[in-house]
Every structure is written in C-alpha cells, then in structure tokens.
Amino acid sequence: MPAPNIDTIVSLAKRRGFIFPSSEVYGGLGSAWDYGPLGVELCNNVKQSWWRWLVYERDDVEGIDSSIILNRLVWQYSGHEATFHDPLVDCRECKSRMRADKLEGYFPEGDQRAEFDANARLRAGLVKCAECGSTNLTDERHFNMMFRTMLGAAADENDPSALAYLRPETAQGIFINFLNVQTTMRRKIPFGIAQVGKSFRNEITPGNFILRTREFEQMEMEYFVRPDAEHLKLVDEWVELYLEWFKGLGIDAANLKLHEVPQEELAHYSKRTVDIMYRYFPERPEEERQWEELMGIAYRTDFDLRSHSSKPTDAEGNRINPDSTEDLSYFDETTKQRYYPHVIEPAAGVNRTVLAVLMDAYSEKTNDKGETRVILKLSPQLAPIKAAILPLAKNKPEIVGMAKAIKRSLQPVLRAVYDDTGGIGKLYARQDEIGTPMCITVDHQSLEDEAVTVRDRDTWEQERVKVSDLAEHLQKRLKPYPNPLPEPV
C-alpha cells in the first residue's frame, strides 16, 4: 500500500526530520525545501546507488563534476537562451499566472504545435483558466526559465558581458568536457559520462512538494555512440535498465509506466524521448491524471557536440559557432572516420526519485492494541539508518554501556544509531516510521549471555543473536545492500 497522496509524505517528512519547508522562520519561501538529518541521508543513498550502478559497476561510464555557472556562450549555443522558455498567461478575472500550454483548449485538437496561433486562440476565448475556468486571459508571453546573475563585484546589471546563468541542466557541463574526458581517460566510443548535481529553473508554477521546485538535483548521463548506432533501440535499452534500477530501489512496477513524448512536445535537441512516469497522484479519480514524469530518456543526436564545436558550417558555409575554440569531434580508429558522436541521455531527478521512493515505501499496520502504525518499508540500501541500538533499561549503566559499545562496533560496517529517549514501544514505532530495517535491543539477559534481540521492521519478528555474530547477521539480513545490480547493456 503506497502513500494515499503526497500530503501524507509532506507531513511524515516534516514530523520525522526528512524534509522541512525552507526559510520557515521568515514565513517560508514558495516551493523551496530543506533536507533534514534523515532526508540528506536518503538523498545521498539514492545518489550513491546511482553512481555505483553506472560509474563503478559498468566499465563504460566515467563521472565528472562541472561548474554550476558556465560561460554564457554555453547556453547560447546549446539553444537554451533562445528556446528554454515557457508560454506564460495571466487570468484577468482571478489574477492567477499560469503556463499557457498546460491549459485546457490551448492546443487545437489533432494539430501540430507549430501550426497554430496561440494568441488567436486565447483571444477567441478557447483557452480556460485552470483556477477559475474563465477564458478572459492575456496574450501569452515567453518567459526564459534560466536564473540570471552578474559576474564580478563591479558588474553593471545591464552589462551583457557580465551576464551568466545558473545551469538549468547538468548535461551541458558534460558536453563541453567531452574531449577532456575522452582523451584523458583514453575512452573509445561507446562510453558515457555521468554527473549528479544541482540545477535551477525559474518555474512558472512550481509545486507539489519536491516534485517541481526552482532548485533541484539531477542525475544525468550522456552516452556517446556512433552516428550509425541503433539509436531508437538504445533508448529502449536504457529505459529497461532504469526501470530495473527503480524497481531495485523498492518502487513497485505497478506505479511506473512509460510515456512516449509526442513529436510536437519534444525538446529542441531531441529526436525521441521516452519518459518514465510515477503515480504521484493515486488519489485522483482519472487514471491518466495520476502520473507525472520521474525521468526522461532522450536521443539527443549530435546536436550538442556539433553546436559547441568550431568547425561545423551551415548551408551557406558559415561556421555555426564562431565563438568556439575547439572541435568536439572524435576519430574512430576502427572505422578510420571522424564524426560527432550521437548521444542517448537518461536524465533523472534526485528529488523526484526520493519522493517516489518515500511514497512507495509508505505503509500502515495495526498492532495488538488496535493502534495504526506507519512503517516506511524503505529498501535497506536507501534507509537513512540501517540499525538502531535500543537499551531496555536506560538507568542501568551496564546495559547502556553495552548498547553504546555495540553501536560503535557496528558503525564502520553500517550506519547505526543509539537511542534511549523513550519506552521500547515508542522507540520501535519511531524507527519503523523512518524506515530503519533492524532494531537491536539490549536487555538484562544480554549482560549474561552476550546476545541481543534483533527485531525486523516489516514483520516485527524477533530473534536472539550473539553479539559476536551481529555484524555478519545484520549484513546478511540487510540484503540487497549495498545495491542490486541490473545487467549492463
């Protein structure tokens, strides 16, 4: 049973130290969230799982960490300055500001996006406000979603030479480093470059907790292949691999589905994109409104490497990029050909993965007293804490000493905590609610038999284990940890 809605997770996340509304002491900041002690562990575990899976376990992927602020020209030649915008409209009745292309009536039925005049439709009253249903809307304006900043203390606000952007995707940092990585690591096509890090978009309508925020984290990989590779098949292969990875994180396949992005909605760089969707809104009665994008897998062609290269020319023979000083082409020793590699790009969001994982792990169980308890059935590899060591009598120094010693001995092997802040029932309930797979109780008997009680989060079953066997026992029980691995392509 996954969470019935996102609000259930918002409340659990705040109550238990996963995620807090940001800047609360000043009344908050719309759609910004801070990750607390357990949230940062969960995010790190998601990122580590991804990094291990791609960079360590495969033999054809390297990792990098590029700057968030890049030369403005990167965004000019990537196409983001000209095309990374959303159409914005205001409702004259209720004063709401919205993305026009998400409104009922915006697209003519069965028509292609390029073939219609949106403002004519808006003026004719064919488009409806999402808030109040009025058709009294303004013309659309294009709003570039990149956050602007000025470089240098003395820079004038209007000086175009000082203008810079916070990156709206991590991908461009990979493209501009393609040759650096390829030559220094002596890589041959096909190979991939992975990067995880923050991206920023001035979203018109952020919302739904951490699903759509202006600051978020991405896990992106650009997989470089030969121009004649079977690109569309490769997209499907990466889709399958990611489905397995998500399932390995504990997400039920029933809550995942694929969405082939229609041609007219493709990003400017994409020839094909398949989105993996998660059921973030199970409470919505219409099945098709329950889903939202978790990640996308795009075939980006050679668009980016070409755009950033100094040599390619247009139909008139003019260089398409007169500012670049490098040619990002690749010489293929096997075919003796020089070309711009094509790219398959799986692009996932850390925050959306975390939300999907939390929603899917949520469950409720009734105890002997008829009380409902929340159990967060997180996969052991993702659980912020793997084992909690709980003394049965906190006023008995020998028991407390033994419990603390066990915590210290487990720490090098797995993340463990010591907790004596309540009665045992309360302590178990708290650990169940934050997803700790194992609780270890030290009692009076432990002082005599050098054994402890190990309690399982999901079944509440208990067993007695010798302290000397504890680390090995826990590691076995915590499988799959550190990571279940899908087969590489």
Q: Which amino acid is at 331?
A: F
- Least separation in angstroms between residue 86's CB and ligand GAP is 11
* Residue 343 binds ligand GAP (CB under 6 A): no
Token pair, residue 339, equals 């070309």
Burial of 384 (0-12, 13-18, 19+ CB in 10 A): buried
Question: CA-CA distances (angstroms) from residue 474 to 120, 411, 413, 432, 479?
Answer: 65, 12, 10, 17, 9
150-159 long-range contacts, CB within 8 A, separation 24+: 151/69
Q: Give whichever of 19 and 171 is closer to ligand GAP, judged by the CB atom.
A: 171
Would you count residue 213 as binding ligand GAP (CB under 6 A)? yes
Residue 341 is a binding residue for ligand GAP (CB under 6 A) = no
User: 80, 201, 231, 272: which one contacts ligand GAP (CB under 6 A)?
Assistant: 201
**Judged by CB under 6 A, does residue 177 bind ligand GAP?**
no
Determine the residue with CB nearest ligand GAP: 349
Nearer to ligand GAP, 204 or 442 (CB): 204
CA distances from 92 to 95, 125, 130, 136, 138 (A): 5, 12, 13, 6, 7
240-299: contacts with ligand GAP (CB under 6 A): 293-296
Q: According to the binding rule CB under 6 A, does residue 173 interact with ligand GAP?
A: no
Distance CA 68, CA 64 (A): 12
Burial class (CB in 10 A: 0-12, 13-18, 19+), 335: exposed
Q: Which of 355, 305, 53, 365 is nearest to 177 (CA)?
A: 305
For ligand GAP, give the closer residue by CB, 42 or 406. 42
Beta carbon nearer to ligand GAP, 166 or 389: 166
Segment near ligand GAP (CB under 6 A), from 82-90, 148-156, 346-354, 402-410? 346-354
Q: Minimal distance in Å, beta carbon 148 to ligand GAP? A: 17
Q: Is 218 in the site for ligand GAP (CB under 6 A)?
A: yes
Q: Which is nearer to ligand GAP, 265 or 463 (CB)?
A: 265
State in angstroms the smallest separation of the CB of 170 from ligand GAP: 7
Residues in contact with ligand GAP, counted by CB under 6 A, come to a total of 19
- How far apart CA 407 and CA 132 sit, in angstroms, is 57
Q: Which of 165, 216, 278, 481 binds ligand GAP (CB under 6 A)?
A: 216
As given in the structure block, the two tokens for residue 10 are: 């918002």
